[in-house]
Structure 1
Amino acid sequence: ASNVPGRSGARWRDAAAELNAAANRHLWDGNWFARGITDDDVKFGIAADKEGRIYLNPQAWAMLSGAASDEQRAKMVAAVEEQLETPHGVAMFAPPYSRMRDDVGRVTQKHPGSAENGAVYNHAASFYIHALYDGGDGERAFRLLRQMIPGPDTADYLQRGQLPVFIPNYYRGAHREVPRTAGRSSQLFNTGTAAWAYRCVIEGLCGLKGERQGLRVAPQLPAGWNELSARREFRGAVFHLTVQRTGVASVRLDGETLPDNLVRGIEAGREYRLDVSV
């Protein structure tokens, strides 16, 4: 809505601001956002809960939507790191439910740490990773993105029971409660992870992000990398990206400096070369 002009855009922006204000008024719990409110008007996903205390999705979408302030964001990220990050990725929520909770619903029926009951659910993880990239926290984002893929050490392959040829629907969670099976791959291909993982790589890591005015170029090269290259098709054109760590930041489009890192006037059918130094 921020890029939509005219009255229609204004209505959407006003509605978004109203929704964000309501989320802060009713769901902010001091260090993170609650997951929701039950039909009996009980908040859940809050610090007072013994199970399902903190959920990942509310934190990711509070950041993506702009509901969270910088101060809130720092608290949320710290809480996620302490309570949801695992050796195999970031969990959907924790602790997992050990028994049915009728007012929360079907997620509480699953075995603790499996599927939606506190697993490392890669679809949800990719929302959070994208939110981290969106906020410029590229190092943390890349660390969690890399954890979606098994390896590179043999022990990790054996624990997950999967080769690094695809990202499954989830890895078993509950690494504190059930460490023996934590990290085990679901081996399921039916996942919405692919599209969001693609966005994390292309828009976050490589920094090729489409906007109404054109293509924004802002790679976030991990500390252990000195270069990367990528190819992206966008609005009928092809962009060839090369990023190198030189210590001097610059973006060049076909050899010419791009002062604001935004490619405008894109011509369909044309190929462009982007050379970025960081």
Structure 2
Amino acid sequence: LRETGDRGFLDEEITFYQKKVALEDRPSATVFEHLKRALAYTKGNTGRHGLPLLGFADWNDTVNLPGDAESLMIANLYGAALDETIALCEFRGDSELAEQYRADYAAMKAAFNEHGWDGAWWRRYYTEVGEPVGSAQNEAGQIYANGQSWPVISGFAEGDRAAIALDSADERLNTKFGLKLSTPGYRGYDPDLGGVSTYPPGAKENGGIFLHSNPWMIVANTRLGFGDRAYRYFQQINPAARNEDIGVYEVEPYCFAQNILGDEHPQFGLGRNSWLSGTASWMYQASTQHILGIRPAHEGLAIDPCVPSEWTEFRAVRRARGATYRIAVSNPNGVNKGVARIAVNGEPVEGNIIPWAAPGKELSVVVEMG
């Protein structure tokens, strides 16, 4: 919607999925109603800590805690979805619904901060009996990457905790081939954990470098202005930067692996399952919208770079809604983040959002960081 401006899409009728019901007999609702029902479902299915129930699994489909286990990642995905929907409601002029969702966001944020902090990072799950997973209390699986990135992306992480958690992730999860999904690896099958414990330590979700989660860590670090670290993470899994390690990596230099064996595995650095990953699309977003910082907003094109301090300038061409934006960014003081001024076709712009131009227009955008 930010990219196209096609708000009419929200009013299109889409059928619900019902496996055993013929398509023509299934009920339907608008796209926006589907979104509202998804949010209502998460709000109405919480556990003992007021956090969303895990169900069979969340994004990490190999962690299958039984019963009414809770997922702190789902809490943050819910928060991020609420944040997006609040902005959408405001843009549609529905202030009453936006206010309701603000209250829902505040309630889940409070529950997350009360029960999610482990002392130096965020926990990842709670079992049905209330024991934490992704905690220093655990023998294995003490810290999870997605548990640290999404609290920043959702805006739930309060105060110094956001930076402390990202520092912990950098210290405990990062390797020269990318960020591990968790550490330490599980050493044997645990029926309460499920599939994650069937892999050897360092493989796939059990302490492997699962590339899909790395762009989220890049996005989180740009949110806090850690441009050098974000770019380092980008280069660590950049396929074109792996040629010197090709004897170990063994993956094509033009596509992403799904995962790379982690440093607890004897084949550390070996890439696996190339072409089978959501990494490519997320890396495109992380690099263009968050490192370069050129991303669509409802009201215009936002310019918010977070780059390595050694970058003195960069240029980009962005085509959006039929217009062309030729963007030149200078960084005279070597900062990681911050925009001092923007001029469009020689005229200064307030803030860092350029109002959408008419189709066919070509704009010259000059940005100075500072």
- Same fold? TM cut 0.5: yes
2:280 and 2:307 mapped to 1: Cα distance?
21
Flag the structure with larger Rg.
Answer: 2
**Matches of residues 251-266 of structure 1 in structure 2 within 5 Å?**
251-266=342-357
In terms of mean alpha carbon deviation, does 214-223 or 135-144 score higher? 214-223
Quote the residue 1:172 is aligned against. Answer: 261
1:169 and 1:228 mapped to 2: Cα distance?
30
Structure 1 gap segments, 5+ residues each:
none
Native 8 Å contact 2:149 2:166 kept in 1: no
Aligned with 1:92 (options 161, 181, 189): 181
1:191 and 1:154 mapped to 2: Cα distance?
20
Write the letter of the residue equivalent to 2:343. Answer: R
Aligned with 2:127 (options 38, 44, 63): 38
Quote the residue 1:205 is aligned against. Answer: 291
Given the superposition, is the C-alpha separation of residues 265 and 82 from structure 1 closer, same or farther in structure 2, using an over 3 Å criterion?
A: closer
Aligned with 2:361 (options 249, 267, 270): 270
2:216 and 2:352 mapped to 1: Cα distance?
25
1:167 and 1:207 mapped to 2: Cα distance?
22
TM-score of the two chains, using structure 2 as the length reference: 0.69
Native 8 Å contact 2:292 2:305 kept in 1: yes
Quote the residue 2:150 is aligned against. Answer: 61
Q: Deviations over 1:72-103 (max 9, x none)?
A: 01210121111101111111111111211222
Q: Deviations over 1:165-215 (max 9, x none)?
A: 122211111x1x23x411211142121112211111111121112222211
2:351 and 2:182 mapped to 1: Cα distance?
39
Quote the residue 2:202 is aligned against. Answer: 113
Confirm whether residue 191 of structure 1 aligns to residue 277 of structure 2.
yes
Write the letter of the residue equivalent to 1:195. Answer: S
Quote the residue 1:215 is aligned against. Answer: 301
TM-score of the two chains, using structure 1 as the length reference: 0.91
1:36 and 1:209 mapped to 2: Cα distance?
32
Write the letter of the residue equivalent to 2:191. Answer: D
Write the letter of the residue equivalent to 2:245. Answer: D
Given the superposition, is the C-alpha separation of residues 164 and 212 from structure 1 closer, same or farther in structure 2, using an over 3 Å criterion?
A: same
Confirm whether residue 123 of structure 1 aligns to residue 205 of structure 2.
no
Native 8 Å contact 2:248 2:269 kept in 1: yes
1:155 positional shift: 4.3
1:100 and 1:263 mapped to 2: Cα distance?
54
Please tell me the root mean square deviation across aligned C-alpha atoms, in Å: 2.0
Confirm whether residue 160 of structure 1 aligns to residue 249 of structure 2.
yes
Structure 2 gap segments, 5+ residues each:
1-82, 335-339
Given the superposition, is the C-alpha separation of residues 230 and 267 from structure 1 closer, same or farther in structure 2, using an over 3 Å criterion?
A: same
Given the superposition, is the C-alpha separation of residues 70 and 159 from structure 1 closer, same or farther in structure 2, using an over 3 Å criterion?
A: farther
2:170 and 2:250 mapped to 1: Cα distance?
25
**Matches of residues 224-235 of structure 1 in structure 2 within 5 Å?**
224-235=310-321
